[in-house]
Amino acid sequence: MSALTLALLAAAAGTAAWALTRKRAAPLALASPADQASLTTAPTSFQRETIMTTTITIIGAGNMGKGIAYVAARGGNSVSIVDRNADDARTLAAEVQAANPGAAVQAATLDGPLGDVVVFATWYTAAQDLARELGERLNGRVVVDISNPLTADFTALAVAGDTSAAEDLARLIPNARVVKAFNTTFAGTLVAGQVAGQPLDVLIAGNDADAKATVADLVTAGGLRGIDAGPLERARQLEGLGFLGIQLQFTQNTNFGSAWKFLA
């Protein structure tokens, strides 16, 4: 794989190579077939009567951080963006705010308050570093792992088999409620909210039903479709699917503009 290909892959995958700069510085669980027609507007697999707004901290102002910030802002949530480069956080916050005038979007720092939902929009090893750094501050919070744990040459998964990046992260922060989501969606499609006129499907895995429903609320309010993929161990398959989606960009020349869609 050429250096240019690797650079494009890193840019499209969109996860910032986060480095702390503080002083240390089951099968898919879906709605019944009769309910599928309504899934374009609501994640019926989560059975929420109303969509709740919440406070969201997105750590990482790269492409995926941008995509998720757009989704969260479209849903009317309060969004804080954190990055090792404060200027990048401020620039992205201003862009997302301008695109969503009714939203509350701001730049923040890790020293400030964390949202009810904390999104690790970073490489998987950086997410582990963040988990160690934030520690008990994440207790009780919904922590969203979006990572696809790729090897250095992007040709395989670095974590596979009897675990996943999400499960490894959960072991570091056992009192947080870790949810796997957004790893099968590309950054640009999240900004647009759709591909080929179809709302994006966001596959969501986790062991805490309320945490998954919270993420589904965020997804649905932002115009996407949340699908419950089961317990956190399903992240193993989601990370494999994310890896396959990345590889197909090169064989199908879709320039990271494609999306997985579950139809029934």
Domain ranges of the chain: 3-17+28-252
What pLDDT, on the 0 to 100 scale, is given for residue 52? 56
What pLDDT, on the 0 to 100 scale, is given for residue 154? 87
Q: Which H helix or E strand runs over 230?
A: strand 225-230
Contact (Cβ atoms closer than 8 angstroms) between residue 126 and residue 64: no
Between residues 24 and 130, the one the model is more confident about: 130
CATH (one of 2.40.30.30, 3.20.20.370, 3.40.50.720, 3.40.50.300) for 3-17+28-252:
3.40.50.720
Rounded mean pLDDT, 91-108: 96
Rounded mean pLDDT, 21-33: 33
Which three-class secondary structure state does DSSP give residue 46?
Answer: helix
Please tell me the distance from the alpha carbon of residue 110 to that of residue 129, in angstroms, as a whole number.
13
Between residues 41 and 166, the one the model is more confident about: 166
Rounded mean pLDDT, 163-184: 98
Average pLDDT over all residues of the chain: 85
Please tell me the distance from the alpha carbon of residue 233 to that of residue 167, in angstroms, as a whole number.
7
Among residues 185, 176, 189, the alpha carbon closest in space to that of 204 is found at 185
Whether 42 shows a pLDDT value over 80: the answer reads no
